[in-house]
Amino acid sequence: DVLDDLKKNSIDYYAAVRSSYAQRREAQVHDQGDANLPDM
């Protein structure tokens, strides 16, 4: 699971989740799709 990997491998779990969400949201807002981003 993506979140489990983030918990194990990130120094700052909250920052990693926040960054992932921001990247996904930015892609959605600009209608770029999110095919390259994992579901969270």
What is the number of structural domains in the chain?
1
* pLDDT given for residue 24 in this prediction: 87
* pLDDT given for residue 7 in this prediction: 94
Among all chains, which residue has been given the structure tokens 């892609």? Answer: 27
Range of the structural domain that residue 22 is part of: 1-40
pLDDT digits (tens, 9 = 90+) for 1-40: 888 999 999 999 999 999 999 998 888 888 766 556 566 6
User: Are the CB atoms for 6 and 16 separated by under 8 Å?
Assistant: yes
- The amino acid present at 6, given as its one-letter code, is L
* pLDDT given for residue 28 in this prediction: 85
CB atoms within 10 A of CB 23: 13
